[in-house]
Structure 1
Amino acid sequence: MKVGLTGFVGAGKTTVFTALTGLQARPAAPGAVNLGVIKVPDPRVDKLAEIYHPRKTTYAEVTFVDFPPAHTAERRAVLDAPTVAQLRDADALVEVVRGVPEVTGAPATPAEDVSAFAAELVLADLAVVEKRLERVRKEKGHEREQALLERIAPELEAGRALRTLGLGVEERTQLAGFAFLSLRPLLIVLNVAEAEAAAPLPADVAARAGAEGAEALVLAAGLEAEIARLEPADRGAFLHDLGLADSARDRFIRASYHLLDLVSFLTAGEDECRAWPIRRGTTALKAAGKIHSDIERGFIRAEWGGNLVLRP
């Protein structure tokens, strides 16, 4: 699962990257990215490891990609062509939104930033649709594709994200090759000051995120980055003192799994205990293919059973 971190200049996305991964992002050349991988905690895997004592224990992983903003004087001109190309490779997008005043004293305008960023995603997709329509209208054999593109083009022109249109499975499959950004699952992370770390999401930001078909959460990135550097044994007490139930990483993992509609299935044995992320509703047959195509081809049946032994 690859999650792309992006946002306007000064939003604090690189600090969010540090909070989630515990890694210090390095200054990079234009167009370069910072990569971080975190393991998804799973007490069921821990329990299986206690039972089987495997040679290897493998947790599901989330790869975070910290995309640099566009190198431009205009703060909101974030989606230049190279950035768009990089974002299309992500499974989900995370927009970090500034929730604290700028150093100049200018107030934060998070709801406006959510709308402005959403508009950039839509415009990037509209450019792709218009270019493709120019071609398919001149050629035969693309009638179904043309009809679908002509249906979504007015929606994009009106500023509506593709994820809000209620597209069916077949339509999404037909559009998959375009890697449309406004069809990607979107999580809004409101980066706030330390004093607001436990505050609820502002109503206007929640409403704006909902209108874009996105989810949203509040995160004090600077504070969470400090927590990420603590020893694991010290983090719980620190979070408790701040009124937080769990870390940014744990909250973010839950939000990402929900956003992508993922669950994990488990395999266990003396060689390895492992968690495998799959889409919710994936059949046992397709899950078997996640392990190896030979297992999918030779699949006979699946048997249901309780997992009481794996409960904490």
Structure 2
Amino acid sequence: MSQRRKFIKQSLMGSALFLPGVASACAQTAEKSPNSGEKPLILSTWNHGIPANADAWAKLKEGGSILDAVEAGVRNTELDMDNLTVGLQGLPDREGITTLDASIMTGDGSCGSVAFVRQIKHPISLARAVMEKTPHVMLAGEGARQFAIAQGFPLEKEELSPKAKVAYEEWKKTSQYKPIINIENHDTIGMIGIDAGGKLAGSCTTSGLAYKMHGRVGDSPIIGAGLYVDDEVGAATATGLGETIIRVCGSFLIVELMRQGRTPQEACEEAVRRLVAKNKEGDGIQAGFLAINKYGEVGAYAIRPGFNYARATESGNVLIDAASYYSS
């Protein structure tokens, strides 16, 4: 079911597309298969992955760890006022409240996450604090907010961003809840990376589905669903309708398939096949997976066309269309 991938060179303020201090080598990048093994490597979901990758790569270049890199990368997206699916500027739930989910993990099994958290500008950094400063993996809701305050995270004013407010007021005219595939490049940024020495880490952050029920939590903060990392094998992250991804423990499934000898591409394709078989929502669902193994080989696959991902290496930072289970 694999199809030939289309490479899309996307300019980000001209030469800013290519990473700081790196020669472009355009022709070489265009000819290279996205499955080729290369380290260091940063992958992230959707077109907002281009600037996120650039920040992650800059962190690596200045001597940061791969964990520092994947945190820094998605912090970029958490601040992007044009992105209505990540960060406090994201679209709210049915009650008009924006709630955030995030997770972070390293290849030694260390992990942390937050779910249903309010008023925190960088939930990915709060997830890292859970990982490093508590005996727990996940904190949720008011408990997560109390922990954030104790750790010195400022509480932001609870109000909708201008774009989210306009969209919410329009939605209230019908109050119809129906996920729309690929809208706003969907509802997550997931990032996974490997450094030159083979250490892996990943991050995932989202404001979740627009107009969800108050209290709903998707796959992004659930270790094994939206994100999973293992230095002995590889890493995977997910995007799309979280309920479908949770039902197959998508990211953990992909890593375990790679452990059994599948390539990252084969593992992503098998995960999508199982997801389709387990979910009966029909035309209304989209989900995509992104994976790397410990050799720096890449896999990406989605239910339907429209999922793309950003791939950053020494050669450059490019946007690539993923293949999909359905052709339309």
* TM-score for both structures, normalised by structure 2: 0.29
* TM-score for both structures, normalised by structure 1: 0.30
Normalized per residue, the structure richer in helix is: 1
Q: Which has the larger radius of gyration?
A: 1
Normalized per residue, the structure richer in strand is: 2
